[in-house]
Amino acid sequence: MLVIAKTARISPLADIEDSVRGSKIVVGEGVMIDSFVKVKPAGGSGDVVFGAGSYVNSGCVFYTGHGITIGEKVLIAANCTFAPTNHEFADPDRPIRDQGFQPSRGGIVIEDDVWIGANCVLLDGARIGRGAVVAAGSVVRGEVPAYAVVAGVPATLRRWRKVP
């Protein structure tokens, strides 16, 4: 089910697929979704919520998986991937694509006023606290504290914007 606020702006070149499993995709007030953004229901039945005033730059991909919650006034730079799901691969005698998905690690949660730099990857279980900055090219797989500046693969604390 797609729920799009009247004041949201979605490029005609964006591709937001409706779910066949009941996932809800919510685009809040004043959200801007740029061209070549893809929202794909895959890997689970979680919801994807874009909070009010958030901006998603071109080339980003969001899989519904175990769910993605994006707070208000979040800035997401170009070519980021949000993958709140993981393939199961424990049985080497079966093709990975036939093994389904691993249990949820909690989906992806991004609090308000976060900036995610270009080419970042956020994995299932990523939690980014209010006011944090994720440097370009980082991979986030766990918790980023509020007002932290993180960078790298995996993303690690580099400094603070403000000590919480």
Token pair listed for 69: 């919650």
- Check whether the bond before 154 is cis (ω within 30° of 0): yes
Q: Sheet containing 81-83: give its strands across.
A: 15-16, 38-40, 61-63, 81-83, 121-123, 139-140
Catalytic residue numbers, as ranges: 87
Instruction: Give Cα 102 to chain centroid, integer Å.
Output: 18
